[in-house]
Amino acid sequence: MSDVPIRVLVAKPGLDGHDRGAKVIARALRDAGMDVIYTGIGQTPHMIVEAALQEDVEVVGLSILSGAHMTLLPKVATQLREAGLGHCVIVAGGIIPAEDSALLTSQYGIDAIYGPGTNTDEIVAFIRTTVAARRATL
Amino acid sequence: MNDATVQQLANEVRRGDRRALARALTLIDRGGAPVRSLRRALAGYGVGSLVGITGAPGAGKSSLTTVITQELRQRGMQVGIIAVDPSSPLSGGSLLGDRIRMYDLAGDSGVFIRSMANRGQYGGLAATTLDAAMLMRAAGFGMVLLETVGAGQSDVAVVDVADTVLLVEAPGMGDEVQSIKAGLLEVADVIVVSKSDRPDAPATLQQLRALVRMQMDSDAVWSVPVLPVSALRQTGVAALVDALLAHAQWLQTHPVTWRQQRRQLLALQRALESQLRDAVQQLPGWTTALAQLGQSDSDVLARQLLEEFVVNGFTKE
């Protein structure tokens, strides 16, 4: 199982068009040997959940710089669970204040949040470890 | 995953369960014994036709896939899409970006899009796409669109799997001679000149129509239509969908033709090439040959490898 590429969905929920960060992450994950499905900007929670379902991903990566993270991220997490995709690791990135970050990870089902300047190796390592642990329980 | 679990998954796929279809597609991608069980469980189910969409990178395959799907949805059909993108030869990972241009299809429950990495296969097709298409047909999709990796002139592997080969040619992509060269043009069932809103589109259309007339065998029953489509202006889409459905219909009454025989021969040749390549790369001499790259003539190296293969045969795994 360990040689099976990890499937990751990288999406930008909401209305901001700043996709540089999402693209950098998508590339870094590809270079780490993962299959990355990139949806681009302007995604609604429903579109993201549908894409995650069709693509049968193990990780959903969400990039958000609009400030709407407290609305959109919990919605995606809830709808993923409702669609039977509660096993997906949810990783978010963007401009997210520390107190929001703490709430999102402790109460709203987001597994990790990374801000600007994060080393991509750190994200890759987190995804690998978390996915390996979830695969072991399935 | 045991046989009974796979059988249950197959039953869920046939009932049209989208989550089951997604999981079964992952099994296909991973390969191995479950794939054979799935094939057995689903053999003979599903009636939809498989349209392979091929053409040079940037020719407009994804945009065309989107507008074809929208037209089919308006006609009440459910559509499955398999979008193949390249794997990185360095990391083995991939960046699958076809969903970006399929934005307008996202969230439609009558459409199911699956992105696949080609895992380094030649010919622009993942080895697994045929199985993936089988699953989508079994799930009840009236048409399955297979969007290939941007293909070059000789990447004709799409004919090995598709019922209908749709070739996309953008205007102004080289002179007439580019198209006369053998390859994709010979295996197309329907040809589209994309971006037909551009001023040089009529010239390309005219050239391609002339070429198709020239290469058509006198005993050909299916005449290959060459159609202008603009995904931007949404023109020509209905006529294209009519042609695709007409070809699927035509295949019902012409199950075996010279065309299919040629496809079977091509499939055999490609299988032969890929198996020979795989076998030779298993030889001890392969590493030696790699070390001599640039120093020895590649024809000589290839000849040596073939001789080694004839003597040694298949290496046991």
Both tokens of B37, joined, read 């069980």
Q: Is the Cβ pair B26, A56 closer than 8 Å?
A: yes
* Residue B87 contacts residue B129 (beta carbons within 8 Å): no
The stretch A52-58 carries a mean pLDDT of 97
pLDDT digits (tens, 9 = 90+) for B272-298: 877 788 889 889 999 999 999 888 898
pLDDT digits (tens, 9 = 90+) for B63-79: 999 999 999 999 999 99
C-alpha pair distances (Å), B120 with each of B53, B94, B268, B286 = 19, 10, 20, 19
> Which of A38, A42, A84 is closest, CB to CB, to B95?
A38
pLDDT digits (tens, 9 = 90+) for B121-159: 654 465 578 788 889 999 999 999 999 877 654 455 677
* Domains of chain A: total: 1
> Which of B93, B97, B107 is closest, CB to CB, to A38?
B97
Give the integer Cα–Cα distance in Å for B185 and B179: 7
Both tokens of A40, joined, read 């681009």
DSSP H/E element including A47: helix A45-55
The answer to whether residue A2 sits within a structural domain is no
Q: Tell me the Ramachandran region of residue B30: left when phi exceeds 0, alpha when psi lies from -120 to 50, beta otherwise.
A: alpha
Task: Tell me the percentage of chain A whose pLDDT exceeds 90.
Answer: 88
* Residue B85 contacts residue B181 (beta carbons within 8 Å): no
| Helix, strand or coil, per DSSP, at residue A87 | coil
The stretch A42-51 carries a mean pLDDT of 95
B120 touches chain A (CB under 8 A): no
The stretch B242-257 carries a mean pLDDT of 84
Helices (H), chain B: 3-14, 18-30, 33-42, 61-74, 98-101, 129-138, 176-180, 184-187, 201-215, 237-253, 258-281, 284-291, 298-312
Cβ contacts of residue A47 below 8 Å, gap of 6+?
Answer: A11, A39, B106, B107
pLDDT digits (tens, 9 = 90+) for A103-125: 999 999 999 999 999 999 999 99
Q: Where in chain B is the domain with CATH 3.40.50.300?
A: 46-255
| Helix, strand or coil, per DSSP, at residue B165 | strand
The answer to whether residue A1 sits within a structural domain is no
The most confident of A67-76, B58-67, B281-290, by mean pLDDT: A67-76
Q: Is the Cβ pair B96, A51 closer than 8 Å?
A: no
End-to-end CA distance of chain A: give it in Å, rounded.
12
| Residue B154 confidence (pLDDT) | 46
- B187 or B260: whose pLDDT is higher? B187
* Residue A34 with chain B: CB contacts under 8 Å: 93
Task: Tell me the percentage of chain A whose pLDDT exceeds 70.
Answer: 98
This complex has an ipTM of 0.90
Q: Is the Cβ pair A40, B22 closer than 8 Å?
A: no
Please work out, in degrees rounded to the nearest 5, the angle formed at the alpha carbon of residue B212 by the alpha carbons of B208 and B217: 170
Render B62-105 in DSSP notation, one character per residue.
Answer: HHHHHHHHHHHHHTT--EEEEEEEPBPTTTS-EEE-HHHHTGGG
10 Å CB burial of residue B244 (0-12, 13-18, 19+) is buried
Q: What is the CATH topology of the domain spanning B46-255?
A: Rossmann fold (3.40.50)
The stretch B16-22 carries a mean pLDDT of 95
C-alpha pair distances (Å), B70 with each of A48, B64, B66, B193, B314 = 20, 10, 6, 19, 49
A98 touches chain B (CB under 8 A): no
Q: Is the Cβ pair A46, B95 closer than 8 Å?
A: no
The stretch B289-309 carries a mean pLDDT of 91
| Residue A1 confidence (pLDDT) | 42
The stretch B203-215 carries a mean pLDDT of 86
* Residue in B66, B94, B113 to test binding to A, most A beta-carbons within 10 Å: B94
Q: Which A-chain residues 10-49 have CB contacts (< 8 A) with chain B? A: 26-27, 29-40, 42-44, 46-47
| Residue B215 confidence (pLDDT) | 72
Q: Find the domain containing A111 and state its range.
A: 7-137
Question: pLDDT-based confidence at B92, cuts 50/70/90?
Answer: confident
By C-alpha distance, the chain B residue nearest A83 is B19
pLDDT for B26 beyond 90: yes
The stretch B77-103 carries a mean pLDDT of 88
B88 touches chain A (CB under 8 A): yes
* Residue B161 contacts residue B267 (beta carbons within 8 Å): no
One-letter-per-residue 3-state SS of A58-85: CEEEEEECCCCHHHHHHHHHHHHHHCCC
| Helix, strand or coil, per DSSP, at residue A35 | strand
* Phi/psi at B11 (5° precision): -65, -40
> Which of B23, B90, B106 is closest, CB to CB, to A56?
B23
The two beta strands, A89-94 and A112-114, are parallel
The stretch B301-317 carries a mean pLDDT of 86
The stretch A47-70 carries a mean pLDDT of 96
Residues A85, A86, A87, A89, Cα dihedral to 10° = 100
* Residue B170 contacts residue B60 (beta carbons within 8 Å): yes
* Phi/psi at B43 (5° precision): -55, 130
| Residue A104 confidence (pLDDT) | 97
pLDDT for A3 beyond 80: no
Give the integer Cα–Cα distance in Å for B229 and B220: 25
pLDDT for B42 beyond 70: yes
* Phi/psi at A95 (5° precision): -90, 95
Cβ contacts of residue A138 below 8 Å, gap of 6+?
Answer: A87
Which residue, among A36, A72, A65, A66, has the nearest Cα to A51 in the 3D structure? A36
End-to-end CA distance of chain B: give it in Å, rounded.
24
Q: Which B-chain residues 23-62 have CB contacts (< 8 A) with chain A? A: 23, 25-26, 30
Q: Is the Cβ pair B117, A83 closer than 8 Å?
A: no
Cβ contacts of residue B152 below 8 Å, gap of 6+?
Answer: B56
Q: Is the Cβ pair A40, B113 closer than 8 Å?
A: no
